[in-house]
């Protein structure tokens, strides 16, 4: 919980204020989860402060909420191309992704449970950044990420807006993102390194190295191709053509 609060403070997620007349703050709560490694062992324990978005009112503290989600077929096609072309598969993770999204609406939130000291009577949080649980948070974060990718010279795919592409002659770099997890592949090693530097300077990122686990799917790469495995469901293999 302390780690989460430190991240929220570092990102200037809110400012304390007396709520405006006629405004009602949304509540918030702590959600605790256990993150697992692909082999089933515990990786870490995580606490996240989540806004009670279900108490928000349309056209008062939120409007548009739609945000695109990566299509599983796009991911499978990307794996297939990477296997046939022998492209590397890199994986990055954005820490507290939603906190990078800027809020356009006027949203107030109650003081976080367990951290109310320092709040005067009647004081609440005036949210400046999107927070997990808010209805508009996914849209705000994806909009922020899209602006950054276009700034780096990438174009969105017309068939899947979560896929970003950049071509330099015969070289190409592909990035696909699912909320805060992303896969980067292609045959332009120089651009992949540049993209990593840009992303890490723009957002708080974590380099997960070679792709091993994505959306509950275990990924194994070998000279024969790429195997993907989802426990109790299926095994799939794309073999590199001769």
In this prediction, residue 48 carries a pLDDT of 93
Res. 1 pLDDT band, cuts 50 70 90: very high
Count other Cβ atoms within 10 Å, centred on residue 113. Answer: 12
Interhelix angle for 189-202 vs 137-151, to 10°?
130
In this predicted structure, the answer to whether residue 128 has a pLDDT above a threshold of 60 is yes
Per-residue pLDDT reduced to its tens digit, 21-48: 888 899 999 999 998 877 788 888 999 9
Give the confidence band of 235 by pLDDT, cuts at 50, 70, 90. very low
Residue 236, beta-bridge partner list: 228
Q: Over 70: is that where the pLDDT of 61 sits?
A: yes
Q: Name 127's bridge partners.
A: 14
Say how far apart CA 144 and CA 138 lie, in whole Å: 10
Mean pLDDT over 206-210 rounds to 90
Phi-psi region of 215 (alpha: psi -120 to 50; beta: other; left: phi over 0): left
Does the pLDDT of residue 171 top 60, yes or no? yes
Alpha-helix runs per DSSP H in 49-103: 72-85
The rounded distance, in Å, linking the Cα atoms of 137 and 49 is 13
Q: Which of 121 and 176 is assigned the larger pLDDT?
A: 176
User: Using one digit for the tens of pLDDT, what is the confidence trace for 132-165?
Assistant: 999 999 999 999 999 999 999 999 999 999 999 9
Reported confidence tier of residue 56, pLDDT bands at 50, 70, 90: confident
Alpha carbon distance 82, 220 (integer Å): 12
Neighbours of 175 (CB within 10 A): 24
pLDDT at 220 over 80: no
Kindly compute the dihedral angle of the four CA atoms of residues 199, 161, 78, 173, in this order, to the nearest 10 degrees: -40
- Average pLDDT, rounded, for the chain: 87
**Tokens, residue 73:** 């077929």
pTM higher than 0.95: no
Residue 53: closest CA among 133, 131, 123, 110: 133
């Amino acid at each position: 919980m302390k780690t989460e609060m430190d991240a929220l403070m570092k990102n200037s997620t809110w400012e304390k204020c007396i709520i405006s007349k006629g405004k009602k703050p949304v509540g918030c709560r702590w959600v605790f989860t256990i993150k697992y490694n692909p082999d089933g062992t515990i990786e870490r324990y995580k606490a996240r402060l989540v806004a009670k978005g279900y108490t928000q009112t349309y056209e008062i503290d939120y409007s548009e909420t739609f945000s695109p989600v990566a299509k599983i077929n796009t991911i499978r096609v990307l794996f297939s191309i990477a296997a046939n072309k022998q492209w590397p598969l890199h994986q990055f993770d954005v820490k507290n992704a939603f906190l990078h999204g800027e809020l356009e609406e006027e949203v107030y939130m109650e003081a976080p449970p367990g951290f109310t000291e320092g709040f005067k009577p009647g004081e609440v949080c005036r949210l400046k950044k999107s927070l997990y649980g808010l209805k508009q948070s996914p849209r705000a974060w994806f909009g922020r990420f899209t602006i950054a990718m276009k700034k780096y010279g990438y174009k969105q795919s017309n068939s899947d807006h979560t896929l970003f592409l950049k071509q330099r002659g015969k070289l190409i770099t592909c990035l696909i993102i699912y909320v805060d997890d992303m896969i980067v592949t292609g045959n332009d090693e120089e651009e992949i390194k540049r993209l990593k530097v840009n992303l890490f300077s723009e957002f708080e990122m974590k380099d997960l190295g070679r792709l091993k686990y994505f959306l509950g799917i275990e990924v194994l790469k070998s000279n024969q191709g790429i195997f993907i495995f989802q426990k109790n469901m299926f095994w799939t293999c794309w073999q590199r053509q001769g």
